[in-house]
Amino acid sequence: MIPMSKTVAIGKIKIGGGNPVAVQTMSTLRPSDTFNAEKEAQRLKDLGCDILRYAVTDEKDAGSFREIKKRVDLPLVADIHYDYKLALAAIDGGADKIRINPGNIGGEKEVKLVAAALKDSGIPVRVGANAGSIEKEFLAKYGRNEVSLGESALKNAAILEKCGVDNIVISVKASDVALTVKAYEYVAARTDYPLHIGVTEAGTAYMGTVKNSIGIGALLLKGIGDTIRVSLSAPTEEEVRAGRAILSALDLSDGAKIIACPTCARCAWNCADFAKKTEEFTRGIKKNIKIAVMGCAVNGIGESEGADLGVAGAGKGECVVFVKGKIIKKVSETELEKVFFGEIEKCIRN
Ligand code: SF4
């Protein structure tokens, strides 16, 4: 039994403690490019991004968070490596969370300075390890596996705990799906800090989404994971879309769920295209509704059991629209978009 993680607030978003799983992504822009960063942040927020992370490479980046947040209401995370001064500057600059590795930002004195700034500001910190940054001592003792990966992350958390910081989020990432899952299971059994989960360096949009869906999905089904990032070699927007789709597939987010049949020889209309259009149309809807787009009325209505609203091909250029399994109207394919999307809007209003 995995214990519930403790609650940590990243700006207005609360994670852990039974709060909804948050979708995170990482910008490829520098936060100091505020003009473009603001536009991107708004776009990502509109797509359903809950938390946005930036790599901080200099003082200008570190000082940009408050500026972006003036225009976009989205929790922002500063990702810092090797330089404690940048961590201090990002905390000062309005970051809602920082991501560091205490082992590489300086010595004990520097870590203490960052810990003091974290406590003063009240913002949380993410620490962790990935398969490429396993601590040498654990690598020698356990080899490259979930134990060495998990212990490396827990050691980083312990360094900050020693300095009085307990507002911590942990991650243990690998590109290997099985190792990722095992490492998070290992850590989840040993800490109640919230976990940021995902398969890292997962690959292209297609393969990376598959790998993350398996890894993140396996963990979320076990109750492990409080924020997710689908790491993809693809536009940032794709990461957010994939993250939201994973939550939707697991019924962990509000919104429209589309049921669509794979079609077969009984399908006599462009069901697949219309399913895509319906998915686009309903993206961002907050109401929980199940919408079915089915190839034929012969089996489609029965097969889409549980759908609030649906459409199925009826042959001869026509489709039937049904509500809770009952046909309410017959529509020509040319009129279908207008009529069906109108019915969806009605369903949302009710
Ligand atoms: S709903 Fe109809 S078209 Fe779709 S797979 Fe079933 S039988 Fe085939």
- Residue 324 scores a pLDDT above 70: yes
The whole-number pLDDT of residue 304 equals 86
What pLDDT digit, counting tens, does each position of 20-32 carry? 999 999 999 999 9
Pairwise CA distance, residues 183 & 150, whole Å:
5
* % of the chain surpassing 90 pLDDT: 90
Torsion, CA 325, CA 331, CA 336, CA 339, rounded to 10: -80
List every span in the chain annotated with CATH 3.30.413.10. Answer: 256-349
41-87 residue pLDDT tens: 999 999 999 999 999 999 999 999 999 999 999 999 999 998 999 99
252 C-alpha to ligand 1 centroid (Å): 28
Whether residue 284 has pLDDT greater than 90: no
Give, using CA atoms, the residue closest to atom 2 of ligand 1: 296
Query: Are the C-beta atoms of 65 and 90 separated by less than 8 Å?
Result: yes
Hey, what CATH class is 8-249 in? alpha beta
CA of 272 to the centre of ligand 1 (A): 12
- Per-residue model confidence as pLDDT tens digits over 192-234: 999 999 999 989 999 999 999 999 999 999 999 999 999 999 9
First to last CA, the chain: 39
CA of 316 to the centre of ligand 1 (A): 16
pLDDT the model gives residue 1: 64
Angle at which helices 177-188 and 205-221 cross, to 10°: 30
Domain with CATH 3.20.20.20 in the chain: 8-249
- How many angstroms does the Cα of residue 218 sit away from the middle of ligand 1? 29
**136 CB contacts (<8 Å, ≥6 apart)?**
none
User: With a 6 A CB cut-off, is 300 part of the ligand 1 pocket?
Assistant: yes
Q: Is the CB of 265 under 6 A from ligand 1?
A: no
Residue 270 CA, ligand 1 centroid: distance in Å: 12
Name the residue of 258, 267, 274, 305 to mutate for ligand 1: max ligand atoms within 8 A of Cβ.
Answer: 267
Tens of pLDDT, residue by residue over 165-188, are 999 999 998 999 999 999 999 999
Separation between Cα atoms, residue 36 and residue 110, nearest integer Å: 33
256-349: what fold? Sulfite Reductase Hemoprotein; domain 1 (3.30.413)
- Say yes or no: CB of residue 266 within 6 Å of ligand 1: yes
Helix crossing, 108-121 with 146-162: angle to 10°?
Answer: 70
Q: 196 - beta bridge partners?
A: 227
Would you say residue 312 has pLDDT above 70? yes
